Structure 1
Amino acid sequence: MTTHFGRTELPPAQASALRRAIRFEWYTLIFLAIAITLVFLVMGSSQAMKAAWIEDLLSLAPPIAFLVAVRIVNKRPTEKYPYGFHRSVGVAHLVAGVALFAMGAFLIIDSLSGLITAEHPPIGTIVLLGHPVWLGWLMMIVMALTIPLPIYFGRVKMRLARELHDKVLYADADMNKADWMTAVGSIVGVAGIGIGLWWADAAAALFIAASIVWDGMKNLRAAITDLMDTRATTFDDGEPHPVSQQIDDYLRDLPWVEEAGSRVRDQGHVFHVESFVVPRLGESPTVRQLMEARDGCIELDWKVEDIVLVPIDELPEEVGGARDTRQSERNE
């Protein structure tokens, strides 16, 4: 079966990765539905447990955003949307970032108020099989059960995000890391209450809230810069994506090209590229040469969905023109 992102046919490895990513996002939703229900049933008046429950609710946003975006980006470009629908990934990324940041900020305020007013959260007992059981034990058991799967899901999704160049999937993998860290923090908070440290619960909630805010800030920054057409970066925003340099190197090696520079726009999964080429003195590239150069660039990486080649007498400054001018002046 042929798999596409819009008009881009995915190579077999990426097509397999996409199908696996979709399965794991459904697995994540099922796991979260169970975890959210269990945490709600045992959270009582613990601030740390409440923060963990809200964090689990927010964890629904990235997998839902990914599943919706994957369906939308498969639509082919239209007259109204000539660039296709890949930006839906960026929109989903932005929505997830806003939700994380807003809720994290709320939880920080809520947790700080608990510390300032010295609230002592009561954790009572329930009767199980005729025996009274401290509710804190159930809280810690439930949170411990929610640790292993997020660790596994996060590692798998991180690999898939790299293969698919999917920043929403990367955000989800990062969220899975926050999930298990939240569970550990909740266990510490509840255990603190059990040994008489009333402030441990609010402190754990504050730690969880800070983690949520940090995730929100990272995702907001990444989503906004991508929507503003910053230069294309790797899936984790760690460095400029190497495909830009690969395209420039390929074009410079063509016999009729003197210099080349590219602007690469990250559309979500794929790239739209504008490459400026300065022909050698006396050379005038034919339509056939330009088409061959375009096809060669597209073959470099499956993510190069659309590329425009612009013959020009001097490179624009943003793709190296200023650098070339300074170099020429030094040579003279």
Structure 2
Amino acid sequence: MAAAGSGHDALPEKQQRALRQAIRLEWLTIGLLVVSATLIYLVMGQSQAMQAALLDDLLSFLPPIAFLVAARVIRIGANRRFPFGHHRSIGAAHLVSATALLLMGGFLVVDSVLGLTAGERPPIGLTVLFGQEIWAGWLMVAVMAATASPPVILGRKKLALAKTLHDKVLYADADMAKADWQTALATIVGVLGIGVGLWWTDAVAAIVVGASIVWDGWNNLTAAVQDLLDTRALTFDEEEHPLIGEAEDLARGTAWVADAEARVRDQGHVFHVEMLVVPVPGHDPTMIELDSLRRQLHQLDWKLHDVQVVPVFDIPDHLRDSGAHATAEGESP
């Protein structure tokens, strides 16, 4: 069996470069969030939409922090207590950040709905800037417009790295960042609505922002829980993974193998693979043959990090059903 070393040992040079770049982007993200949250706090007043935008920024700290912590933990190698290594710290980080998003987003929606039904009318008065009196709402609009673009740009960069690394925490962060312009737009509409006398637009904008956070939290929470429950490994964006079919085809193409199916679990950046193989009738595979197939599977792709080849008399029915389902969807069996 391939040694389940540290996360860095499991990554080829291309992925190691991508990981280092992702770490730099996450530190840059944290720095920008500090500036953004500070500016929003200074100008938000009593606007519910601005308060929701501030909460959105504060929650946006969670994915980069979770990613940075996980990136440190996966450096720890496998040992007797953790025989599979610490790759699943990625999944744990995903679960923590998703849970926080869901809970805080739900709180924001409930609080905003209560404010709307109570008819709360947040005042936005005048403020003095460089000796001139201006409507404070213009400062809010300016801050939201200025802070909307950087996360979107960083989100697109992270999305490419998430694909390279097969990193679901980074993907969740990128997905949230790409949608930040929607938060900014909703907040701007809410503030301008107050300015023209439509007081309710502020609470509605806060509800929209909160609902967006809940949606992100729910999607990421379900994905994180399924991974930790050893669901069939999927791509970083939750699609059927073609690598599983490729591994099964390789095993079935071996001369002494009559049939094969794989049980693949997502360990974080890498996969743990149990390849169940049925030998051709009358053939008893040797250790050399088993190890040769294991090595071929291990070399097929860097994500197939921890590989076992298990001879069996027949393939369990539930794996057959999984393969049929994948075939029906047009994926590799």
The answer on 1:150 being equivalent to 2:151 is yes
305-314 or 11-20, which deviates more: 11-20
Normalised to the residue count of structure 1, the TM-score between the two structures is 0.94
Q: Are the equivalent residues in 1 in contact too, given 2:44–2:51 (CA < 8 A)?
A: yes
Q: Pick closer, same or farther for the CA change 1:118–1:323 going to 2, 3 Å.
A: closer
Is residue 291 of structure 1 aligned with residue 282 of structure 2?
no
Q: 2:55 and 2:172 mapped to 1: Cα distance? A: 17
Residues 79-98 of structure 1 correspond to what in structure 2 (within 5 A)?
Answer: 79-98=80-99
Matching residue of 2:327: none
> Following the alignment from structure 1 to structure 2, what is the Cα–Cα distance between the partners of residues 96 and 321?
33
Partners in 2 of 1:5 and 1:171 — Cα distance? Answer: 23
Q: Secondary structure at the match of 2:127?
A: strand
Conservation of the 8 A alpha-carbon contact between 1:317 and 1:323: no
Aligned CA RMSD, in angstroms, stands at 1.5
Structure 1 residue 8: Cα displacement: 3.7
Query: Cα deviation per residue 1:205-240 (whole Å; 9 max; x = unaligned)?
Result: 010000000001001100000000000000011x22
**Aligned counterparts of 1:144 and 1:86: Cα–Cα separation in 2:** 39
The gaps in structure 1 that reach 5 residues or longer are: 325-332
| C-alpha deviation, 1:47, in angstroms | 0.1
Q: 1:321 Cα shift?
A: 7.8
Rounded Cα–Cα distance in structure 2 between residues aligned with 1:293 and 1:229: 24
CA contact (8 A) 1:69 1:92 kept: yes
The one-letter code sitting in structure 2 at the alignment partner of 1:302 is W
Q: Which residue of 2 aligns with 1:104?
A: 105
- Write the letter of the residue equivalent to 2:285: P
Where in structure 2 are the equivalents of 1:302-313 lying within 5 Å? 302-313=302-313
Q: Secondary structure at the match of 1:277?
A: strand
Does structure 2 retain, via aligned residues, the 8 Å contact 1:39–1:143?
Answer: yes
CA apart distance, 1:179:
2.3
Looking at structure 1, the residues matched to 118 and 163 of structure 2 have their Cα atoms a distance apart, in angstroms, of 46
Residues 1-332 of structure 1 mapped to structure 2, 5 A cutoff:
5-6=6-7, 8-237=9-238, 239-320=239-320
Q: Distance in 1 between matches of 2:11 and 2:74?
A: 13
Distance apart, 1:86 and its partner CA: 1.2
Is the partner of 1:145 in helix, strand or coil? helix
What's the offset of the Cα at 1:128?
1.5
* Contact 1:8–1:305 (8 Å) recurs in 2: no
- Of stretches 225-234 and 146-155 in structure 1, the one that deviates more from structure 2 is 146-155
Distance, in Å, in 1 between the alignment partners of 2:39 and 2:158 is: 24
Distance 2:163 2:321 in 1: 32
SS of 1:282's equivalent in the other structure is coil
Q: Hey, what's the Cα distance between the residues in 2 that align with 1:5 and 1:126?
A: 55
Q: Distance in 1 between matches of 2:146 and 2:212?
A: 20
User: Could you tell me whether the CA contact under 8 Å between 2:153 and 2:178 is conserved in 1?
Assistant: no
In structure 2, the CA distance between the partners of 1:321 and 1:168, relative to structure 1 (3 Å rule), is closer
Indicate if the aligned counterparts of 2:6 and 2:85 stay in contact, CA closer than 8 A.
no
How far residue 52 of structure 1 moved from its aligned partner, in angstroms, is: 0.4
2:298 alignment partner AA: I
- The amino acid that maps onto 1:264 is V
Please give the alpha-carbon distance, in whole angstroms, between the structure 2 residues aligned to 1:90 and 1:52: 27
Structure 2: state its 5+ residue gaps.
Answer: 325-333
Q: In 2, distance between residues paired with 1:74 and 1:152?
A: 29
SS of 2:236 mapped into structure 1: coil
Runs (4+) off by over 4 Å = 321-324
Q: 1:192 to 1:322 in 2, by over 3 A?
A: closer
Matched to 2:230, the amino acid is D
Structure-1 separation of matches of 2:8 and 2:167: 17
C-alpha distance after superposition, 1:27-69 (max 9, x if no partner): 1000001001000000000000000000100000000000100
Note if contact 1:62-1:172 (Cα within 8 Å) is conserved in structure 2.
yes
How far does residue 323 in structure 1 lie from its aligned partner after superposition?
A: 8.1
Segment drifting more, 129-138 vs 52-61: 129-138
Measured after TM superposition, the shift of residue 319 of structure 1 is: 2.0
Deviation track 1:129-160 (CA, whole Å, cap 9, x = no partner) reads 22111110000000001111111111111111
CA distance in 1, matches of 2:323, 2:63: 41
Letter in 1 for 2:282: G
- SS of aligned partner of 1:147: helix
Cα separation, 1, equivalents of 2:254 and 2:217: 44
Change in 2 beyond 3 A, CA 1:223/1:291: same
Distance 2:8 2:136 in 1: 55
